[in-house]
């Protein structure tokens, strides 16, 4: 029997620490539901003590998720741990994750604590956490740059206090695969009670080796939990990419001899959702989830694939949830066909009113675009979910004029609360003119950090998906809009970001910044 590797997803915590990837409470719940469909074992939903917003988001995820363990990060002190336990109250299965730095540099410079003080605090915090939860993880922050003898003492002591998972992060992405694997192996060999806890790896990607290091931690080191994120989102150069870990374990089962419980067909929908919500576009040549990951353009490759797919394919696109990109519905498709396709795509609609609202969006799109692909349906459903989050500003219509040699003009009509407003402005281009027209009325004064356009499917018939990232008063928000007309998609994205700025309860001040 192959051993099981626990997949611990930290997209909502470490992933959110990517600058600009801050998520609202409702967005975290939407991603958590998708992670549950993906069947991840543990969802780290946030860092409860970092802000009231994150506390609320973790509570909402804990209440929504039924099949995965929900976890909150906490510094190794009573106050943070209590906050984590409170946020997790509604969870069916919960985990408290306490961390404390153990490297000489972090202890001396950041914590200003002696090794003995760190050891005592680690013990105390795990003892305290075990009074509040049975499932307690301890992370030795900057573990890979810690001294082996000291780290062994800390780990042995926290296992004695009841830590059920021991995580050894390569916090700064300094490790190399063999050395990291050997490091974990040495720890497991030298810590006398190492068999009383599950060993976990958590690798950052500063040198592009996070996935390789994590797999070495499992294969060489004997770890049985991998911490990872969708699309490898995370601090700086990111974290270990979940999709690459899962497909490496599956595709090279002959070598790893390990299984995980992930439903791989949910990988691409998860990747698209995270990319859409955070505005972090997936590079086309990204393994597994990049748009070109399964594209064969060279004639020799295409010929080989037609003769036998195994010539150039080690995985199947459909196994990781790539839709065949075929026309699935059109203008004449009815409500039942739409509902059935949603079910086939694994999109659950609870209330009839939500289905009706989504169907209206589908019909509107089908009037503009004759061929509706699975990707379009996923975008419609994302729009519907975003609309549920409350729309103070709502796009109605837009007309614009641009001609070579003239400054483009745009007129945008949109709802402001329960009133209709409309204004005109000029700009450098039609998009700029449209956003200026919106600003004429809203006067948000927000700084634009990002504007990106992405085609949802291939060809010029495709809908454009626009992401706008705005910053104001220390808050950063992402707005997404989709439409076959990219100017309209831009206006929708801008209004969506303004909606988030308008509703302060939705947005955290500096995601994951500890007070």
Q: For the chain, first and last CA: distance in Å?
A: 47
Residue 30's binding partner among ligand KIV, Zn ion, none (Cβ under 5 to 8 angstroms by kind) is none
Q: Kindly state the smallest distance separating residue 129's Cβ from ligand KIV, in Å.
A: 15
Would you state the structure tokens that stand for residue 503, as one six-digit string?
């509703």
Report how far apart, in Å, the C-alpha atoms of 393 and of each of 22, 96, 118, 419, 420 are: 21, 39, 50, 10, 9
- Binding-site residue set: 14, 202, 204, 239
Q: Could you give the string, one character per residue 13-52, with x where binding to Zn ion holds by CB under 5 A and - elsewhere? A: -x--------------------------------------
Q: Could you give the string, one character per residue 159-198, with x where binding to ligand KIV holds by CB under 6 A and - elsewhere? A: --------x-x-x---------------------------
Residue 500's binding partner among Zn ion, ligand KIV, none (Cβ under 5 to 8 angstroms by kind) is none
Query: Per rule CB under 6 A, is residue 141 in the interface with ligand KIV?
Result: yes
Q: Could you give the string, one character per residue 201-230, with x where binding to ligand KIV holds by CB under 6 A and - elsewhere? A: -x-x--------------------------
Would you state the structure tokens that stand for residue 170, as one six-digit string?
């390569």
How is 365-394 classified by DSSP, letter by letter?
HHHH-S-B-HHHHHHHHHHHHHHHT--SEE
- The candidate with the shortest Cα–Cα distance to 512, out of 48, 137, 32, 43, is 48
Query: Per rule CB under 6 A, is residue 53 in the interface with ligand KIV?
Result: no
Kindly report the length of the chain: 515
Query: Per rule CB under 6 A, is residue 499 in the interface with ligand KIV?
Result: no
User: Whose Cβ is closer to ligand KIV: residue 216's or residue 498's?
Assistant: 216
Judged by CB under 6 A, the residue of 99, 150, 199, 373 near ligand KIV is: 99
Q: Kindly state the smallest distance separating residue 435's Cβ from ligand KIV, in Å.
A: 36
Q: Which residues contact 96 (CB under 8 A, 6 or more apart)?
A: 71, 72, 74, 81, 84, 85, 88, 129, 132, 133, 135, 136, 137
- Binding-site residue set for Mn(2+): 14, 202, 204, 239
Q: Which residues pair with 152 in a beta bridge?
A: none
Q: Kindly state the smallest distance separating residue 278's Cβ from ligand KIV, in Å.
A: 17
Dihedral sign, CA of 500, 503, 507, 510?
A: positive
Q: Kindly state the smallest distance separating residue 341's Cβ from Zn ion, in Å.
A: 38
Query: Per rule CB under 6 A, is residue 36 in the interface with ligand KIV?
Result: no
Query: Per rule CB under 6 A, is residue 14 in the interface with ligand KIV?
Result: yes
Shortest Cβ contact with Zn ion: which residue?
Answer: 14
- How far apart (Å, rounded) are the C-alpha atoms in residues 166 and 61? 24
Q: Which residues pair with 401 in a beta bridge?
A: 409
Q: Which residues contact 145 (CB under 8 A, 6 or more apart)?
A: 103, 104, 105, 171, 172, 174
- How far apart (Å, rounded) are the C-alpha atoms in residues 274 and 205? 18
CB 266 within 8 A of CB 34: yes
User: Whose Cβ is closer to Zn ion: residue 45's or residue 493's?
Assistant: 45
Query: Per rule CB under 6 A, is residue 16 in the interface with ligand KIV?
Result: no
- How far apart (Å, rounded) are the C-alpha atoms in residues 510 and 515? 10
User: Whose Cβ is closer to Zn ion: residue 199's or residue 362's?
Assistant: 199
Judged by CB under 6 A, the residue of 11, 24, 82, 139 near ligand KIV is: 139
Query: Per rule CB under 6 A, is residue 27 in the interface with ligand KIV?
Result: no
Counting beta carbons within 10 angstroms of the beta carbon of residue 307, is it exposed (0 to 12), middle (13 to 18) or buried (19 or more)?
exposed
Residues that bind Zn ion (CB under 5 A): 14
Binding site for ligand KIV (CB under 6 A): 14, 99, 139, 141, 167, 169, 171, 202, 204
């Amino acid at each position: 029997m192959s051993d099981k590797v626990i997949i611990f997803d930290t997209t909502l915590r470490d992933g959110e620490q990517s600058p600009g990837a801050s998520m609202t409470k409702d967005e975290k719940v939407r991603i958590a539901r998708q992670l549950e469909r993906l069947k991840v074992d543990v969802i780290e939903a946030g860092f409860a003590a970092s802000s009231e917003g994150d506390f609320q988001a973790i509570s909402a995820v804990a209440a929504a998720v039924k099949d995965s363990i929900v976890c909150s990060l906490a510094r190794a002190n009573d106050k943070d741990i209590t906050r984590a336990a409170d946020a997790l109250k509604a969870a069916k299965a919960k985990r408290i994750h306490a961390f404390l730095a153990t490297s000489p540099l972090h202890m001396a410079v950041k914590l200003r604590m002696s090794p003995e003080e760190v050891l005592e605090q680690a013990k105390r915090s795990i003892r305290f956490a075990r009074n509040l939860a049975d499932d307690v993880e301890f992370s030795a922050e900057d573990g890979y740059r810690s001294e082996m003898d000291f780290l062994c003492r800390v780990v042995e002591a926290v296992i004695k206090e009841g830590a059920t998972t021991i995580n050894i992060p390569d916090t700064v992405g300094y490790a190399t695969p063999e050395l990291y694997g050997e490091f974990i192996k040495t720890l497991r060999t030298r810590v006398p009670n190492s068999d009383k806890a599950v060993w976990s790896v958590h690798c950052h990607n500063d040198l592009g080796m996070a996935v390789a290091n994590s797999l070495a931690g499992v294969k060489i080191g004997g770890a049985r939990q991998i911490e990872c994120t969708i699309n490898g989102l995370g601090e700086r150069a990111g974290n270990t990419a979940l999709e690459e870990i899962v497909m490496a374990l599956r595709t090279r089962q002959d070598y790893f001899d390990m299984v995980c419980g992930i439903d791989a067909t949910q990988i691409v929908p998860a990747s698209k959702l995270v990319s859409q919500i955070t505005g972090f576009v997936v590079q086309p040549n990204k393994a597994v989830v990049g748009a070109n990951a399964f594209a064969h353009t060279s004639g020799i490759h295409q010929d080989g694939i037609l003769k036998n797919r195994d010539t150039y394919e080690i995985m199947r696109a459909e196994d990781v949830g790539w839709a065949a990109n075929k026309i699935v519905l059109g203008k004449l498709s009815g409500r039942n066909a739409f509902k059935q396709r949603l079910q086939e795509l694994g999109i659950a609609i609870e209330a009839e009113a939500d289905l009706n609202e989504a169907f209206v969006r589908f019909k509107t799109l089908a009037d503009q675009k004759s061929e509706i692909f699975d990707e379009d349906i996923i975008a419609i459903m994302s729009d519907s979910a975003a609309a549920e989050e409350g729309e103070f500003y709502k796009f109605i219509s837009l007309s614009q004029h641009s001609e070579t040699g003239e400054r483009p003009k745009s007129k945008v009509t949109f709802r402001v609360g329960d009133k209709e407003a409309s204004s005109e402005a000029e700009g450098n281009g039609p998009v700029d003119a449209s956003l200026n027209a919106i600003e004429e009325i809203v006067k948000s004064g927000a700084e634009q950090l990002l504007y990106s356009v992405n085609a949802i499917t291939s060809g010029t018939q495709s809908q454009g998906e626009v992401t706008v990232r705005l910053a104001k008063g220390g808050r950063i928000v992402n707005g997404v809009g989709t439409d076959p007309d990219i100017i309209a998609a831009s206006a929708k994205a801008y209004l969506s970001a303004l909606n988030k700025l308008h509703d302060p309860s939705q947005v955290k001040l500096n995601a994951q910044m500890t007070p």
